[in-house]
């Protein structure tokens, strides 16, 4: 979504080799998705696509902000997002469930919360927005396709989940597409 919106609304361009690289990497994601057991619901799919669209919009907002202090930018975005997320959590989970979760959480659970807030949200989004403010979306956005590859790898390493051939094939397609994209950028330079 980010790349498509950057092409349509921000006038950014995609070179032919970059387009081929993106299609190759996306084929890896599609291949992985086709291997799942079909348990995804239409609502679940709509929520995932809606989240991806919203992330794309947020990426363009960060890119349009230009060369600003992205850590401060991310902090302010988080301050304004907090009330909406709190209301949503109260509505979906209810106050009793939230209170129970907060009062019975283990140190490991609180560590995960701190990591999500500081590591993923503040550092991760600040670094991502910093890259988008300085480079074309076609150079940065394809790297997001590494998320499922790292997810599968980490679940195999930490949880002992299997890595069947279809997962490795999908990961290989994603990595090949990203390598082609990086090579095309160096070639253009």
* pLDDT of res. 92: 93
Write the pLDDT tens digit of every residue in 100-120: 999 999 999 999 999 998 988
Quick count: other Cβ atoms within 10 Å of Cβ 82? 10
Write the pLDDT tens digit of every residue in 122-138: 898 899 889 988 888 88
Residues above pLDDT 70, as percent of the chain: 97
Model confidence at 141, pLDDT cuts 50, 70, 90, reads confident
Between the two ends of the chain, the Cα-to-Cα distance in Å is 26
* pLDDT of res. 38: 66
**Mean pLDDT for the stretch of residues 58-69:** 86
Write the pLDDT tens digit of every residue in 19-52: 888 888 888 888 887 777 666 677 887 888 888 8
Q: What is the mean pLDDT of the chain?
A: 86
- Residues in Cβ contact with 75 at an 8 Å cutoff, skipping those fewer than 6 apart: 122
**Mean pLDDT for the stretch of residues 62-91:** 89
DSSP label at residue 39 = -
Distance from C-alpha of 25 to C-alpha of 150, rounded to nearest angstrom: 14
pLDDT at 16 over 90: no
């Amino acid at each position: 979504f980010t790349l498509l919106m950057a092409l349509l609304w921000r006038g950014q361009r995609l070179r032919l080799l970059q387009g081929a690289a993106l299609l190759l990497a996306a084929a890896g994601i599609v291949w992985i998705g086709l291997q799942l057991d079909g348990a995804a619901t239409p609502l679940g799919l709509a929520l995932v696509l809606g989240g991806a669209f919203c992330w794309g919009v947020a990426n363009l907002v960060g890119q349009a902000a230009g060369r600003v202090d992205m850590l401060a930018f991310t902090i302010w975005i988080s301050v304004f997002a907090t009330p909406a997320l709190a209301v949503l959590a109260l509505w979906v989970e209810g106050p009793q469930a939230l209170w129970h979760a907060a009062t019975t959480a283990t140190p490991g659970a609180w560590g995960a919360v701190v990591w999500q807030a500081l590591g993923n949200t503040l550092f991760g989004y600040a670094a991502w927005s910093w890259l988008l403010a300085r480079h074309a979306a076609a150079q940065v956005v394809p790297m997001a396709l590494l998320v499922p590859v790292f997810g599968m790898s980490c679940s195999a390493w930490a949880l002992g989940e299997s890595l069947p051939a279809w997962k490795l094939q999908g990961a290989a397609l994603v990595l090949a597409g990203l390598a082609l994209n990086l090579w095309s950028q160096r070639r253009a330079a």
